[in-house]
Structure 1
Amino acid sequence: MNETPEAGPKKLLVGLAGQQNAGKSTTFNMLTGANQHIANYPGVTVDKKTGYYRHREIRVELVDLPGTYSLTSFSLEERVARDFLISEKPDVITNVVDASSLKRSLYFTFQVLEMGFPVVVALNMMDVAKRNGTHVDVAALEHCLGVSVIPTIGRKRQGKTELRDAILDTANRKAYNPLRISYEELEPALNSLKNQLDKCKLAEDYPTRWLAVKLLEGDSEAERIVGEHLGEDCKELKTAAGVRRDFEEKHYMNVPDYMVGCRDRLATEIIGTCVTETKEGRDRVSETIDKIVLNRFAAPFFLIATVFVIYQLSIVKGYELTVYWWPILAKLRAMIAGVLPAAGILEDPYIRSMGLWMVDSANALLNYIPIFLILFSLIAILEDSGYMARIAFILDKLFHSFGLHGQSTLPYILGGVFAGGCAVPGVMATKGIPDERSRMATILTVPYMNCLAKIPFYTLLINVFFAPYKSWAMLFLSTVTIFVALLVAKLLTATLLKSMETAPFVMELPKYHPPTLFGVGQRAIERTWQYIKKVGSIVMAVSICVFTLLQFPGISDEKQAHFDGEITKAVAMFQNKIAKTQYADRFKDEAALVSMINLYNDFKSARLITKGAKSSKALSAKFKAGYPEQFKFLKPKKDKDAKTVNKALRGLLSTRKSLRRQIKEAQIETSVLGMVGRSLEPVTQWAGFNWKINVAILSSFAARESSVATIGVLYQQGADENKSLEDRMEAEAGEGGFSPLHALAIMVFFALYPPCLATTIMIKVQTGSYKWMVFSMIFPTTLGFITACLIYTGGSAFNLSGIQMMGVFYAAVVLTAVCSGLFSSWKRKPGPLPDLRQEPKPL
C-alpha cells in the first residue's frame, strides 16, 4: 500500500531528467497539463521549463531538465542539468527512459543514481517496445535498480496517476537503498578518495561518492569544484591523478574507458535479467520509412516536397481562413473607434489618431493568426514524428561542404530554416556547436532564415503581387535563403573565419512516433501566443515611435490653411444643396454635421463587414433603433428631402475623404521619418524602393513585424472602410506603377536585411565582440541591397516579369551553391558515412 503523505512535505521539487528522444516532453505534459512556464536558466540560454500540479494534497513543482545523454561537463545542457541537481537538491528525480531502447537509457540512469537522489524511473514508450517485440519485466527491473519503476505511455497519458503516486511515495520513504555501480578494481581507490572527501566541507553540498567518481574520470568541472574549495594543490586532486596514472600504466587503458565498460557490463546483466526479445511482431516501421526519406537520391526531393506541402496548407489554405478572421478584427477596430474621442470633420484628436494607428498596426499582424496556427501545428507534427531529426541528418553532409557543422542544423531550425522560427533562440543555440569556426559562421548566417516576423511581410506582398503563384513564391523564399546562407557561410569560413578550428558531428535518430493532438495543439497555441504577445509589446512600442516620427514637425500653416479652405467650401456646397429641404436648419450646427458624418461612416463600415441579407437587415434594425432621428438619412425611402440630404452628404464625405488622405500624405512626407525615407530614394530607386518602403524597412530594424504594421498605416486609402491591407496596397500599387518586379526586389532585400535589434544584441552576447555585431549589420545590408538592385535593374533591362525574374535569380543562386558544394566535396577526400542510428557503444 502507498504511504500517506501527512507526515511528509506539503511541497515537493521534482526534477524530470532523461536522454533525448525518450519522451521526456510528453511525460512532462502528461504530469502538468497546461500549467507550465518557460524561461531560461540563470546566466545561460537553455530553456527552463517548469510545471505544477497537485496530488494527494501535495503541490509539486516539476522542472524539466535539458535532455542529455550523460551528466558530464562537456556540453552546456549537461552542465545545466548537473548544476540544477547539485544546487537545487530536488526531493525526487523522475528519470524518463525509453523502454524500446532500455540499455542505452540505463547509462544515464546509473549516473543519476550515483548522485544519491531519490529516483523514480518512468519506463516510457511501452507501446513502442511491445510493437518491437520487447517485453520488460517491470518487477525484475525494480529489484535490480532498487527504485520504483512505473510503465508509462506519455503520448497517450497512460500511467499518470501511478507515476504521481510513486513520486510522493519515494519522497516520503525513509529507507532508500538503490543500485550501487561497482567499478571492480577501482573500488578500493574510489572508497579511499570518498573517505578523504567525507572529511571536507564539500560533503555538505556534494555527494562524495559521485564526486570521487568524477575526479577519477578526470571531469574538468569536478576538478574545478574541488580546486575552488580545497585549493589547486589539495591531496584529493593529487590522489585522483595518481590513481589514473597508475591504473593506465598497469592496464594500458584509461580510467574513463574502464568505468564506461563497468557500466556497460552492468547494463548488459540487467537487460539479460529483465528484458525478453521476441521475433514476432518486430516493428520495422522506422527502418522502412528511413529507406525512403533518407535515400541518397530521394531525400532532398522528399524534404522539398515536405516544405512545399507545409506552405500549401499554411500559407495558401491558411490565408483563405483570413477571409473569416478579418471581419472579427474589423469589428474590434470599430468597437475601439467608438470608445475613442469622435473624429473631426477634417482632423482627428491626437488620442484617436494614435489609438487607431496602434489598432491598425496590430490588426495588420493579427490577421495572420490562422496561418501561424496551421504552420506551427505542422512544424510540431514534424518534431513529434521524428522527421525533424532526419532533416538534420540530411543536411549534415551538405553543411560540411560549406564550412558548417552538423549541429548548425538546430540553430537554423530555431531561426526558421523554412519558416516560423526566431533568430534570437537560433543564435543562442549556437553554444552547442563545439568548433569556433562553424559556430561563428552559424551565428552570422542564422538571421538569413525565415523567422516568424518575416512571414507577414512575405505573405502580404505575395498575396498582392504573386497571387496566382502563392505556393511557388513561398517555396522560393523558404529555400533560396538556405542557399544564400550556405554561400555566405562558405565565403566567411574561407576568408575571415578560416583560421578557426573544427570538430566532428555526432547525432542519433529517434524512432518514428505518431504525434498527439494535445501535444501538437499545445505547442501551436503556445507559439502563436508568443507571437501575439510580441505584437502587443515590441510592435506596439515601435508603432508609437513610428507614429511620433511621422507626425512631427507637421504640415506648414500655409498647407493647413489650404485644406481648411477646401473643407469650408465643401461644407458650404452641402448647405446649398439641402437649403430647400425641411432639414436645412438641422445641419447648420457644425457639431450636428460632424456627428452625422461619423454615423454615416460607422454605418458604411459596418455594412462592409456584414455578410448576407439577414445580417444586413439586422444591422439596419440596430442602427434604426439606436439612431431613430438620423436613420432616415442613412437609408432614405419615400422621403424626398431625406434623399437629397443623403446625396449631398455622400458628396461631402467623398471630398472629406480625399482631403483627409492628402493631409496624412503631406504629414508623412514632411515628417522626420518621411524625410529620411525620401532622402534615400535617389539611391534605393535602383532597387525599386519608394520612400514608403524605405520607411517600412527602417522601422523594421527594431522588430521585423513593424514592417507590415508601418505599411498598414502608410497605405491608408480604404482604412476607414475597414478594407484589408492587401486590398489597400493593391489599389495604391496599381495607381503608383508598383509591379511584381518591385515586390520581388523588396522581398529578397528583406530576406537578406540585417538582423533585428534583439538578434543584434544576442550576436554581441554570443561573440563577445562589438566588431562582429557591427559586421552583422553592415554586411547583410550591402549584400541585400546589391542583390535587390541586380534583380530590379536586371529584370527591367531584360523586360522580365516578377515571376520570370524569380526563376532566373533562383536558378543562379542554386547553381552557384551546387557548384561551390561540389568543388568542396571534390577537394575533400570522401570517406564512408557512419551509421548514426546505431546505439552508442562503450569505449
Structure 2
Amino acid sequence: MSKRIRIALAGNPNAGKTTLFNAITGARQHVGNYPGITVEKKEGFASSGGRELHLVDLPGTYSLTAYTQEELVARNYLIDERPEAVIGVLNASALERNMYLAVQVLEMGLPMALALNMMDEAAKQGIRIDAARLSEHLGIPVVETVARNGKGVEGLLTQTAAYAEQRAGSWEPLEISYGPDLDPVISEMVERIETEKFLTDRYPSRWLALKYLENDDEIRVVGRKTDKLAEELEAMAAKVAEHCKKTLSTYPEAIIADYRYGYITSLLRDVIVRDTDRQRIDFSDNMDRLLTHKVFGPLGMLGVLFMIYWFTFTVGDYPLGWVENFFAVVGDMVSNGLPDGLLKSLIVSGIIDGAGGVLSFVPLIMIMFLFIAFLEDSGYMARIAYMLDRVFRIFGLHGCSVMPFIVSGGIAGGCAVPGVMAARTLRSPREKLATLLTAPFMTCGAKVPVFILLISVFFPQNQALAMFCITMLGWVSALIVSRILRSTIIRGPSTPFVMELPPYRLPTLRGVMIHTWERTWQYIKKAGTVIVAISIVIWAMMTFPGLPADRLAHFESQREAIHAELAQAQPGSDLAQKLEKRLPLVDNAEGEAALRGSIAGRIGIALEGISSLAGFDWRTNIALVGGVAAKEVIVSTLGTAYSLGEVDTEATQPLAERLAKSPHWSALTAASLMIFILLYAPCFVTVVAIRQEAGGWKWALFSVVFNTGFAFAFSTLVYQGGKLIGLG
C-alpha cells in the first residue's frame, strides 16, 4: 500500500461535512443538523484504490478569518499540518455562499477537491449544477455527493487521492485581482516578504500580504515577534486603508470580500442553472412561516417539548419497571448466595443498588434521546435557536448561546461539558462568560435519572408536566441569572445574531438510531465505569470506620435475646411471628447506626443543621456531596444509603418504594430537592471545562459557589413557602 494521504474536510456549518466524514470513515460520532456541533477536529481512517487515507474533520466555519475559535483551529491546522489535500464540502443549494471558504483555501494554495453535497436538496429547489464545468474553471476535482446515502463518496475519495498524488504536496495559490487600489500594494508587499523571507517558511507570501490588509490580529502578533519587516507591512496596510477610506468610504477588508464574491459570481455564472419555470416557494420557507411564527412558533416548540416527555413517561414506564425488577432479582440472588460481610455489602449495596439504580433509567433515557436525535437531524433545532434569540437578547445573551444551552440539556438529555465547549462560537467574552456560568442549569442527562425517580414516586399522575416544568425552570433560572450577571459583574454591549437555517430534512432511520444508541451507550458506559467507581468510593465512605466493639456487642446481645425467646416460643404462634419480625429491625438499626457513624454519615449529619431548611436529611446530603463528582451518583448514593440503613424489612426493595414509604420524604421535599439538583454546583468535569473556556479557575470556582448558593436559596424558599401554606 502507498504512503498514507492526509485529507482535511473543511466546510460551512450545515453543509453535511461531518455526515460525509462518517460516511467515509464509518466513525460513530454525533451528527447534528445545526451550527456549532463540531468544535474540535475529529480524525478517522479509510482506504480507496489501494491508498490509505487519514481524514481530519475540521470545525465548521464560514471563513478562515481569525475571528472565532473554529476559524483559528481550522486555519492553523491547514497552515501548520499541511495536509496533502483538502475536501471542501459545499451545500449545493447555497453554492455561492459556501464557495467563499473554498476560495480562501485555494488562495492559500493547498491541493483541494470540492464535494457538491446535498445535491438531492438542490434538485428539489430547481437548481442544476454543471460540476464538470466548475472543475474545468478551477482546475481541481469537483464531485457531486449526497453524504446521507453515500452517493458519490467513493468517486470523491478516488479523485481527491489521485489529485493529492499529482500535486505531491506542492502549494499553488489562487490569485484574484483586488482592483486598482489594492493590487499594487499587494504586489509590493509580496516582493518585500519574499526578499526578506518573512514568515515564508510557514505562510504563502501573497496570502500573508492579504492577511495584513485584512488587519488579521493573529498574523500581526506573529509578525511582530519575528522581524522588523512587520512594522513596514503594517504601515503599508495602514496607508492603503487611509486611502480607501478617503476615496471610497470603505476599508480593505470590505474590498477584499467584495472582489472575492465578484470572483465567485463570475465563476458560477455558467455553472448554476435555476429552474425559473417552477414558481413555488421552498418547502422549508412554507414550514417556517408556521414553525418560526412570533406566536405559534414558541407555542409549537413548547408543545413539542411536552409531547416528548409525555411519550417518554407513558411508554417508558413499562420497560423501566422490567429493568428495576431485574436488578431487584439480581440483588436477591446475590444477597441469598453470599454470607454476611463486607463483600456482600459491597456487591449488593455498593454496586447493584448503586449502579443498578442508574441503569434502571436506560429505557427512558433512550426514548428521550431518540426524539432529540430526530429534532437535530430534521433541522428543527436550528429553528429553536432562531426563535429564542429574540428572548435571549432581553437577558443580555446572544442567539448563539441557545446552542450551548440545548447541548447542555435544554431539551433534557444533553451534557454540560460539550455545552460549555460549544460556547466557543460566541465572539463577545462577556456573553460567552454568562453562557458558561448558566449552561449547567439545564436538565443534562446526568440529572434526568434523579428527576425521573422523584417524579415517578411523588408526582405519578403528572409525570410529563413535572418534567416539563423542571426543564422550563432551568431555562428561566439561566435567563434570570444571566440578566443579573450581565447587569452587574460582567456588563457590556450585546453583539448581533446571524445564523443559517438549514433546510428541513426527513432524518434517516439508520442515522437516528445510530445517534440514539451512541448517546445511550455513552450513558451506559459512564454508569458501568465512572459511576461504579464513585459508588464504590462512596460505599466505602458509608461503611467505614464501622461501629465500635461495644455497639456491635449491644446489637448482637439483642439478637441473641430474640433468638432465645424464639427457641422457647411455639412455632407459628403469634409470639413467634412477632419475634421473627423484630430480627430484621435490629439488623436495620445496626446498619443505620453504622451509616451515621461512617465518614459519609458524619458529613451528612454535620450539614443537616443547614440543609434541613430546604428539607434535606443527612442521607440526602451524602448523595448531594457525591453529586458534585457526577450527578448520576445521586441516585446510586441514595440507593446505597437506604440499602445500608433502611427501616423497611425488605432489604432489596427498589429505591422508589423505599422513598415512597419513608417518613422523611414528601412531594414538597422532592420538589425542593429537584430544584437544588437542577441548579447547584456543576459536576467536576464541567467545572474543569469552564476553567478551560474561561481561561482560569476564578470563574470555574465562582460557578461552584454561586450556583450552589443560588440553588439553596431557591430550594429553601420553595420548601419553607410550601410548609407555610400547608403543603409539607
Aligned-pair CA distance for 1:489: 1.6
Inter-partner Cα distance in structure 2 for 1:163 and 1:653: 76
Contact 1:450 1:478 in 2 (8 A): yes
How much has 1:753 moved relative to structure 2?
1.6
> Does 2:728 match 1:798?
no
- Equivalent positions of 1:504-653 (< 5 A) are 504-569=496-561
Give the CA RMSD over aligned residues.
3.0
Give the drift of 1:151: 0.6
Rounded to whole Å, the distance in 1 between the matches of 2:266 and 2:576 is 91
Choose from 727, 734, 757 the match for 2:684. 757
Deviation track 1:526-580 (CA, whole Å, cap 9, x = no partner) reads: 22232233324432333233222212332232331133234445666777799xx
Unpaired runs of at least 5, structure 1? 1-5, 39-44, 579-643, 802-843
Distance change >3 Å, CA 201–CA 470, structure 1 → 2: same
8 Å CA contact retained: 2:372, 2:411: no
Aligned counterpart, 1:322: 320
The alpha-carbon distance between structure 1 residues 121 and 670, as it changes in their structure 2 partners (threshold 3 A), is: same
Write the mapping of 1:758-773 to structure 2, written as runs, cut at 5 A: 758-768=685-695, 770-773=697-700
For 2:307 and 2:227, locate their aligned partners in 1 and report how far apart those are by CA, in whole Å: 60
Deviation at 1:728, TM superposition (A): 3.0
The 5-angstrom pairing of residues 19-58 of structure 1 reads 19-34=12-27, 46-58=39-51
After TM superposition, give the deviation of residue 768 of structure 1 in Å.
Answer: 4.2
Supply the AA of the counterpart residue of 1:261: D
The answer on whether the counterparts of 2:135 and 2:141 sit within 8 Å (CA) in structure 1 is yes
The alpha-carbon deviation at position 394 of structure 1 amounts to: 0.9
User: Equivalent residue for 2:35?
Assistant: none
Q: Which residue of 2 aligns with 1:724?
A: 654
The partner residue of 2:354 within 361, 386, 401 is 361
Write the distance in 1 (CA, Å) between the matches of 2:713 and 2:29.
Answer: 46
SS of the aligned residue for 1:86 comes to helix
Structure 1 residues 112 and 445: alpha-carbon distance in aligned structure 2, compared to 1, 3 A threshold: same
Paired with 2:114 and 2:529, the residues of 1 have a C-alpha distance of: 42
Aligned partner of 1:212 in structure 2 is 209
Give the one of 259, 263, 274 matched to 2:260: 263
| Equivalent position to 2:295, from 294, 297, 308 | 297
Deviation at 1:450?
1.1
Aligned to 2:79: 86
Q: How far did residue 245 of structure 1 move? A: 3.9
SS in 2 for 1:72: coil
Distance 2:85 2:327 in 1: 48
The counterpart of 1:196, out of the listed 192, 195, 206, is 192
Q: What amino acid maps onto 1:700 in structure 2?
A: G
The aligned residue for residue 182 of structure 1 is 177
Note the C-alpha offset of 1:719: 10
Give the Å deviation of 1:72: 0.5
TM-score (norm 2): 0.91
**Share of identical aligned residues, percent?**
36
For residue 246 of structure 1, report the CA deviation from its aligned partner: 4.1
Post-superposition offset of 1:688: 1.9
Using structure 1 for the length normalisation, give the TM-score.
0.79
- Map 1:27-176 to 2 at 5 A: 27-34=20-27, 46-174=39-167
Aligned equivalent of 1:611: none
The whole-number CA distance in structure 2 between the counterparts of 1:81 and 1:262 is 23
Confirm or deny: 8 A CA contact 2:143 2:152 kept in the other structure. yes
1:247-292 deviation digits (Å, cap 9, x = unpaired): 5444443212111111111211222210111135556211111110
> 1:10·1:57 contact (CA, 8 Å) conserved in 2?
no
Larger mean Cα displacement after TM superposition, 116-125 or 250-259: 250-259
Amino acid at match of 1:324: W
Aligned pairs, how many? Answer: 712
Write the letter of the residue equivalent to 1:296: K
Distance 2:585 2:157 in 1: 67
Partner of 1:609: none
Change over 3 Å in CA distance of 1:94–1:331 after alignment to 2: farther
Partner Cα separation in structure 2 for residue 66 and residue 746 of structure 1: 39
- Counterparts of 1:108-507 in structure 2, within 5 Å, are 108-174=101-167, 180-185=175-180, 186-199=182-195, 200=197, 202-231=199-228, 233-281=230-278, 282=280, 284-329=282-327, 343-344=338-339, 347-348=340-341, 350-356=342-348, 357-498=350-491, 500-507=492-499
Distance verdict in 2 for CA 1:272–1:687, change over 3 Å: same
User: Helix, strand or coil for the counterpart of 1:453?
Assistant: coil
Say whether the 8 Å CA contact 2:355–2:636 is kept in structure 1. yes
SS at match of 2:46: strand
The alignment partner of 2:44 has SS state of strand
Give SS of 1:59's match.
Answer: strand
Check the 8 A contact 1:392/1:409 in 2, yes or no.
yes
Q: Give the direction of change, closer, same or farther, for the CA distance of 1:100–1:37 in structure 2 (3 Å limit).
A: closer
- Preserved contact between residue 436 and residue 502 of structure 1 (Cα < 8 Å): no
Q: 1:437 to 1:32 in 2, by over 3 A?
A: same
Moved more, 363-372 or 244-253: 244-253
Offset of residue 216 of structure 1: 2.2
Q: Shift in Å at residue 653 of structure 1?
A: 7.9
Deviation at 1:651, TM superposition (A): 9.5
Distance in 2, matches of 1:721 and 1:668, equals: 15
Distance in 1 (alpha carbons) for counterparts of 2:579 and 2:39: 61
Q: For 1:682 and 1:178, how far apart are their aligned partners in 2?
A: 71
**How big is the shift at 1:20?**
0.9
Paired letter, 1:195: E
CA distance in 2, matches of 1:490, 1:206: 44
Aligned-partner SS, 1:123: strand
What CA deviation, in whole Å up to 9, does each residue of 1:623-661 have, x standing for no partner? xxxxxxxxxxxxxxxxxxxxx99x999999866544432
Shift of 1:383: 1.5
Q: Which residue does the alignment assign to 2:619?
A: 692
The one-letter amino acid of 1:230's match is D
Q: Which moved more, 1:155-164 or 1:315-324?
A: 315-324
Q: Which string of whole-angstrom CA distances, capped at 9 and with x for unpartnered residues, describes residues 167-202 of structure 1?
A: 221122248878543324333432332233334162
Match of 1:779 in 2: 706
Secondary structure (helix, strand or coil) at the match of 1:508 reads coil
